Amino acid sequence: RAKQAGGQDYCYFTDELTRDAVNRFQMENQLRQALLHKEFFLEYQPRISLVDGSVRGVEALLRWKKVDGTRVSPAEFIPQLEEMGLITSVGEWVLHTACMQASHWQEAGLPPFKVSVNLSARQFQQADLCRVVAKCLEHSGLDPAWLELEVTESLMIQDLGESVTMLNRLREMGISIAIDDFGAGYSSLGYLKHLPVNTLKIDKGFIDELATDVADAAIVQAVINMAHRMGLEVTAEGVEQADQLDLLISLGCEEVQGFYLARPMPVPQLEDWILAPKSYSRHLLPMGLY
Protein backbone atom coordinates (compact mmCIF):
# COMPACT_ATOMS: atom_id res chain seq x y z
CA ARG A 1 0.00 0.00 0.00
CA ALA A 2 1.07 3.56 -0.63
CA LYS A 3 0.85 4.46 3.06
CA GLN A 4 3.09 1.61 4.10
CA ALA A 5 5.51 2.44 1.34
CA GLY A 6 6.13 5.85 2.87
CA GLY A 7 2.83 7.62 2.46
CA GLN A 8 3.42 8.56 -1.14
CA ASP A 9 0.56 7.66 -3.40
CA TYR A 10 2.68 7.37 -6.49
CA CYS A 11 4.46 4.32 -5.07
CA TYR A 12 1.23 2.38 -5.27
CA PHE A 13 0.56 3.44 -8.83
CA THR A 14 4.15 2.85 -9.86
CA ASP A 15 3.96 -0.69 -8.52
CA GLU A 16 0.70 -1.24 -10.35
CA LEU A 17 2.13 0.08 -13.58
CA THR A 18 5.26 -2.00 -13.24
CA ARG A 19 3.24 -5.10 -12.59
CA ASP A 20 1.05 -4.39 -15.61
CA ALA A 21 4.07 -3.83 -17.81
CA VAL A 22 5.73 -7.02 -16.59
CA ASN A 23 2.54 -9.00 -17.11
CA ARG A 24 2.14 -7.61 -20.59
CA PHE A 25 5.74 -8.32 -21.42
CA GLN A 26 5.36 -11.89 -20.18
CA MET A 27 2.20 -12.41 -22.14
CA GLU A 28 3.80 -11.01 -25.27
CA ASN A 29 6.70 -13.43 -24.95
CA GLN A 30 4.32 -16.28 -24.31
CA LEU A 31 2.28 -15.34 -27.37
CA ARG A 32 5.39 -15.37 -29.54
CA GLN A 33 6.20 -18.82 -28.13
CA ALA A 34 2.63 -19.89 -28.79
CA LEU A 35 2.98 -18.98 -32.45
CA LEU A 36 6.26 -20.86 -32.75
CA HIS A 37 5.02 -23.93 -30.93
CA LYS A 38 1.59 -24.02 -32.50
CA GLU A 39 -0.31 -23.67 -29.23
CA PHE A 40 -3.31 -22.16 -31.01
CA PHE A 41 -6.23 -24.21 -32.22
CA LEU A 42 -9.85 -23.71 -33.08
CA GLU A 43 -13.02 -24.84 -31.40
CA TYR A 44 -16.35 -24.72 -33.17
CA GLN A 45 -19.69 -23.83 -31.61
CA PRO A 46 -22.88 -24.93 -33.37
CA ARG A 47 -25.55 -22.45 -34.46
CA ILE A 48 -28.90 -24.14 -34.48
CA SER A 49 -31.97 -23.46 -36.57
CA LEU A 50 -35.17 -22.86 -34.61
CA VAL A 51 -37.09 -23.61 -37.78
CA ASP A 52 -36.13 -27.28 -37.99
CA GLY A 53 -33.53 -27.94 -35.29
CA SER A 54 -30.74 -28.47 -37.82
CA VAL A 55 -27.18 -27.22 -37.48
CA ARG A 56 -27.04 -24.16 -39.67
CA GLY A 57 -23.47 -23.30 -38.96
CA VAL A 58 -20.55 -23.35 -36.58
CA GLU A 59 -18.58 -20.41 -35.27
CA ALA A 60 -14.82 -20.86 -35.25
CA LEU A 61 -13.35 -19.68 -31.94
CA LEU A 62 -9.66 -19.27 -31.35
CA ARG A 63 -8.14 -21.15 -28.43
CA TRP A 64 -4.77 -20.89 -26.76
CA LYS A 65 -3.56 -23.72 -24.55
CA LYS A 66 -0.12 -23.18 -23.09
CA VAL A 67 2.38 -26.04 -22.85
CA ASP A 68 1.66 -26.27 -19.11
CA GLY A 69 -1.98 -26.92 -19.99
CA THR A 70 -3.45 -23.60 -18.86
CA ARG A 71 -5.93 -21.92 -21.15
CA VAL A 72 -6.12 -18.21 -21.80
CA SER A 73 -9.39 -16.60 -22.88
CA PRO A 74 -9.45 -14.99 -26.35
CA ALA A 75 -11.00 -11.93 -24.72
CA GLU A 76 -7.61 -11.54 -23.02
CA PHE A 77 -5.10 -12.48 -25.68
CA ILE A 78 -6.78 -11.21 -28.84
CA PRO A 79 -6.49 -7.53 -27.86
CA GLN A 80 -2.86 -8.31 -27.06
CA LEU A 81 -2.25 -9.89 -30.47
CA GLU A 82 -3.93 -6.87 -31.97
CA GLU A 83 -1.56 -4.52 -30.11
CA MET A 84 1.45 -6.57 -31.09
CA GLY A 85 0.47 -6.36 -34.73
CA LEU A 86 0.17 -10.14 -34.91
CA ILE A 87 -3.58 -10.37 -35.28
CA THR A 88 -3.56 -10.20 -39.07
CA SER A 89 -1.33 -13.26 -39.41
CA VAL A 90 -3.12 -15.18 -36.66
CA GLY A 91 -6.44 -14.11 -38.15
CA GLU A 92 -5.37 -15.34 -41.54
CA TRP A 93 -4.42 -18.67 -39.98
CA VAL A 94 -7.90 -18.85 -38.37
CA LEU A 95 -9.59 -18.11 -41.67
CA HIS A 96 -7.50 -20.62 -43.55
CA THR A 97 -7.92 -23.36 -40.94
CA ALA A 98 -11.67 -22.83 -40.71
CA CYS A 99 -12.10 -22.94 -44.51
CA MET A 100 -9.97 -26.10 -44.77
CA GLN A 101 -11.98 -27.70 -41.98
CA ALA A 102 -15.34 -26.79 -43.51
CA SER A 103 -14.21 -28.15 -46.84
CA HIS A 104 -13.11 -31.42 -45.20
CA TRP A 105 -16.46 -31.78 -43.47
CA GLN A 106 -18.26 -31.37 -46.76
CA GLU A 107 -16.04 -33.88 -48.49
CA ALA A 108 -16.60 -36.29 -45.61
CA GLY A 109 -20.29 -36.09 -46.36
CA LEU A 110 -21.51 -34.27 -43.26
CA PRO A 111 -24.76 -32.38 -43.80
CA PRO A 112 -23.64 -28.96 -45.09
CA PHE A 113 -23.44 -26.03 -42.69
CA LYS A 114 -21.71 -22.68 -42.70
CA VAL A 115 -18.53 -21.86 -40.88
CA SER A 116 -18.28 -18.36 -39.44
CA VAL A 117 -15.05 -16.59 -38.62
CA ASN A 118 -14.59 -13.53 -36.41
CA LEU A 119 -12.67 -10.62 -37.84
CA SER A 120 -10.73 -8.23 -35.66
CA ALA A 121 -10.52 -4.50 -36.28
CA ARG A 122 -7.09 -4.64 -37.89
CA GLN A 123 -8.13 -7.44 -40.18
CA PHE A 124 -11.24 -5.66 -41.32
CA GLN A 125 -9.26 -2.51 -42.04
CA GLN A 126 -6.69 -4.45 -44.03
CA ALA A 127 -6.77 -3.28 -47.63
CA ASP A 128 -6.10 -6.77 -48.98
CA LEU A 129 -8.68 -8.60 -46.84
CA CYS A 130 -10.57 -9.66 -49.97
CA ARG A 131 -7.41 -11.12 -51.46
CA VAL A 132 -6.70 -13.04 -48.23
CA VAL A 133 -10.25 -14.38 -48.13
CA ALA A 134 -10.13 -15.35 -51.80
CA LYS A 135 -6.84 -17.17 -51.23
CA CYS A 136 -8.30 -19.16 -48.31
CA LEU A 137 -11.34 -20.11 -50.37
CA GLU A 138 -9.20 -21.15 -53.29
CA HIS A 139 -6.75 -23.22 -51.21
CA SER A 140 -9.53 -24.99 -49.37
CA GLY A 141 -11.89 -25.34 -52.30
CA LEU A 142 -14.71 -24.16 -50.04
CA ASP A 143 -17.75 -22.70 -51.77
CA PRO A 144 -18.02 -19.07 -50.53
CA ALA A 145 -21.70 -19.67 -49.80
CA TRP A 146 -20.55 -21.71 -46.77
CA LEU A 147 -18.39 -18.96 -45.30
CA GLU A 148 -19.62 -16.19 -43.04
CA LEU A 149 -17.57 -13.39 -41.53
CA GLU A 150 -18.51 -11.83 -38.18
CA VAL A 151 -17.76 -8.17 -37.69
CA THR A 152 -18.76 -5.93 -34.79
CA GLU A 153 -20.83 -2.83 -35.36
CA SER A 154 -18.41 -0.46 -33.63
CA LEU A 155 -15.77 -1.64 -36.04
CA MET A 156 -17.86 -1.01 -39.12
CA ILE A 157 -18.95 2.48 -38.27
CA GLN A 158 -15.41 3.71 -37.67
CA ASP A 159 -15.39 4.48 -41.36
CA LEU A 160 -18.83 3.77 -42.73
CA GLY A 161 -17.95 4.46 -46.37
CA GLU A 162 -14.91 2.20 -46.35
CA SER A 163 -16.83 -0.50 -44.52
CA VAL A 164 -19.68 -0.46 -47.02
CA THR A 165 -17.20 -0.81 -49.89
CA MET A 166 -15.42 -3.68 -48.17
CA LEU A 167 -18.65 -5.46 -47.25
CA ASN A 168 -19.97 -5.12 -50.80
CA ARG A 169 -16.80 -6.63 -52.20
CA LEU A 170 -17.03 -9.55 -49.76
CA ARG A 171 -20.71 -10.04 -50.56
CA GLU A 172 -19.92 -10.05 -54.28
CA MET A 173 -17.56 -12.94 -53.62
CA GLY A 174 -20.57 -14.87 -52.32
CA ILE A 175 -19.69 -14.69 -48.61
CA SER A 176 -22.22 -13.74 -45.99
CA ILE A 177 -21.67 -11.20 -43.23
CA ALA A 178 -22.99 -11.13 -39.68
CA ILE A 179 -22.91 -8.23 -37.27
CA ASP A 180 -21.53 -9.69 -34.05
CA ASP A 181 -22.57 -8.57 -30.54
CA PHE A 182 -25.40 -6.50 -32.02
CA GLY A 183 -26.70 -3.88 -29.60
CA ALA A 184 -23.68 -4.04 -27.31
CA GLY A 185 -21.82 -1.10 -28.86
CA TYR A 186 -22.52 2.59 -28.72
CA SER A 187 -23.61 2.80 -32.32
CA SER A 188 -26.95 4.16 -33.48
CA LEU A 189 -29.51 2.33 -35.57
CA GLY A 190 -29.33 4.81 -38.44
CA TYR A 191 -26.23 3.32 -39.97
CA LEU A 192 -27.72 -0.16 -40.12
CA LYS A 193 -29.63 0.44 -43.32
CA HIS A 194 -26.38 1.31 -45.07
CA LEU A 195 -24.59 -1.87 -44.11
CA PRO A 196 -24.91 -4.74 -46.60
CA VAL A 197 -25.06 -7.56 -44.05
CA ASN A 198 -27.06 -10.80 -43.87
CA THR A 199 -27.41 -11.51 -40.17
CA LEU A 200 -27.64 -9.78 -36.81
CA LYS A 201 -26.25 -11.68 -33.88
CA ILE A 202 -28.02 -10.32 -30.82
CA ASP A 203 -25.55 -9.82 -28.01
CA LYS A 204 -25.65 -12.21 -25.07
CA GLY A 205 -26.22 -9.19 -22.81
CA PHE A 206 -29.85 -9.00 -24.00
CA ILE A 207 -30.41 -12.73 -23.72
CA ASP A 208 -29.18 -13.24 -20.14
CA GLU A 209 -32.28 -11.75 -18.48
CA LEU A 210 -34.63 -12.29 -21.41
CA ALA A 211 -37.06 -14.41 -19.43
CA THR A 212 -37.29 -12.04 -16.45
CA ASP A 213 -36.56 -8.54 -17.71
CA VAL A 214 -39.40 -6.90 -19.61
CA ALA A 215 -37.07 -4.35 -21.19
CA ASP A 216 -34.72 -6.99 -22.56
CA ALA A 217 -37.65 -8.93 -23.97
CA ALA A 218 -38.95 -5.77 -25.63
CA ILE A 219 -35.56 -4.98 -27.13
CA VAL A 220 -35.05 -8.50 -28.45
CA GLN A 221 -38.53 -8.53 -29.93
CA ALA A 222 -37.95 -5.16 -31.59
CA VAL A 223 -34.59 -6.22 -33.01
CA ILE A 224 -36.07 -9.43 -34.43
CA ASN A 225 -38.97 -7.57 -36.03
CA MET A 226 -36.73 -4.84 -37.41
CA ALA A 227 -34.25 -7.35 -38.81
CA HIS A 228 -36.95 -9.36 -40.53
CA ARG A 229 -38.51 -6.28 -42.10
CA MET A 230 -35.06 -5.38 -43.40
CA GLY A 231 -34.61 -8.86 -44.84
CA LEU A 232 -31.99 -9.85 -42.29
CA GLU A 233 -31.72 -13.02 -40.27
CA VAL A 234 -31.29 -13.10 -36.52
CA THR A 235 -29.12 -15.27 -34.31
CA ALA A 236 -29.41 -15.06 -30.53
CA GLU A 237 -26.09 -15.52 -28.76
CA GLY A 238 -25.44 -16.94 -25.31
CA VAL A 239 -28.62 -18.98 -24.83
CA GLU A 240 -28.10 -20.85 -21.57
CA GLN A 241 -31.60 -21.80 -20.43
CA ALA A 242 -34.69 -23.54 -21.71
CA ASP A 243 -36.97 -20.58 -20.95
CA GLN A 244 -34.77 -18.27 -23.04
CA LEU A 245 -35.07 -20.72 -25.91
CA ASP A 246 -38.87 -20.91 -25.57
CA LEU A 247 -39.13 -17.14 -25.65
CA LEU A 248 -36.86 -16.83 -28.66
CA ILE A 249 -38.97 -19.38 -30.52
CA SER A 250 -42.15 -17.46 -29.69
CA LEU A 251 -40.52 -14.19 -30.77
CA GLY A 252 -39.73 -15.67 -34.19
CA CYS A 253 -35.97 -15.83 -33.84
CA GLU A 254 -34.65 -18.31 -36.41
CA GLU A 255 -31.28 -19.27 -35.02
CA VAL A 256 -29.61 -19.71 -31.63
CA GLN A 257 -26.16 -20.29 -30.27
CA GLY A 258 -25.37 -20.99 -26.65
CA PHE A 259 -24.27 -23.39 -23.96
CA TYR A 260 -27.84 -24.69 -23.56
CA LEU A 261 -27.60 -26.16 -27.05
CA ALA A 262 -23.91 -26.79 -27.46
CA ARG A 263 -20.59 -25.49 -26.21
CA PRO A 264 -17.64 -24.70 -28.44
CA MET A 265 -15.91 -28.03 -29.18
CA PRO A 266 -12.68 -29.26 -30.70
CA VAL A 267 -13.04 -30.97 -34.08
CA PRO A 268 -13.44 -34.66 -33.09
CA GLN A 269 -16.01 -33.80 -30.44
CA LEU A 270 -17.95 -31.58 -32.82
CA GLU A 271 -18.08 -34.34 -35.41
CA ASP A 272 -19.46 -36.78 -32.81
CA TRP A 273 -21.94 -34.15 -31.69
CA ILE A 274 -23.17 -33.48 -35.23
CA LEU A 275 -23.87 -37.16 -35.79
CA ALA A 276 -25.38 -37.83 -32.35
CA PRO A 277 -29.07 -37.48 -31.49
CA LYS A 278 -29.58 -34.07 -29.87
CA SER A 279 -30.52 -33.73 -26.24
CA TYR A 280 -32.27 -30.45 -27.00
CA SER A 281 -34.43 -31.84 -29.78
CA ARG A 282 -36.83 -33.30 -27.24
CA HIS A 283 -37.30 -29.78 -25.99
CA LEU A 284 -37.40 -28.18 -29.43
CA LEU A 285 -39.58 -30.46 -31.47
CA PRO A 286 -42.71 -30.51 -29.28
CA MET A 287 -42.72 -26.73 -29.64
CA GLY A 288 -43.82 -27.44 -33.22
CA LEU A 289 -41.15 -25.19 -34.69
CA TYR A 290 -43.48 -23.49 -37.11
Binding residues for Mg ion, rule: CB under 5 A, are 118, 150, 180-181, 237
User: CA 131: distance to chain centroid?
Assistant: 22
Decide if 264 contacts 238 (C-beta within 8 A): no
Contact pattern for ligand C2E over residues 95 through 134, marking x by CB under 6 A: -----------------------xxx--------------
- Is residue 140 close enough to count as binding ligand C2E by CB under 6 A? no
- Is residue 46 close enough to count as binding ligand C2E by CB under 6 A? no
- Is residue 240 close enough to count as binding ligand C2E by CB under 6 A? yes
The one-letter code for the residue type at 266 is P
Residues with Cβ within 8 Å of residue 186, at least 6 apart in sequence: 154
Q: Which is nearer to ligand C2E, 4 or 279 (CB)?
A: 279
First to last CA, the chain: 62
- Is residue 94 close enough to count as binding ligand C2E by CB under 6 A? yes
- The single residue among 24, 259, 266, 285 that binds ligand C2E, judged by CB under 6 A, is 259
Whole-angstrom distance, CA of residue 78 vs CA of residue 87: 7
Burial class (CB within 10 angstroms; exposed 0-12, middle 13-18, buried 19+) of 28 = middle
Which does residue 112 bind out of Mg ion, ligand C2E, none, counting CB within 5 to 8 angstroms by kind?
none
CA atoms within 13 Å, Cβ hemisphere of 129: 26
Shortest approach of ligand C2E to residue 61 CB, angstroms? Answer: 4
Please state the φ and ψ torsions of residue 98, each to the nearest 5 degrees. -65, -40
- The single residue among 7, 36, 71, 73 that binds ligand C2E, judged by CB under 6 A, is 73
Q: Which is nearer to ligand C2E, 16 or 83 (CB)?
A: 83
Shortest approach of Mg ion to residue 164 CB, angstroms? Answer: 21
Q: 116: which strand partners?
A: 59, 148
The one-letter code for the residue type at 35 is L
- Is residue 264 close enough to count as binding ligand C2E by CB under 6 A? yes
* Sites of contact with ligand C2E (CB under 6 A): 45, 61-62, 73-75, 78, 91, 94, 118-120, 150, 180-181, 238-240, 257-259, 264
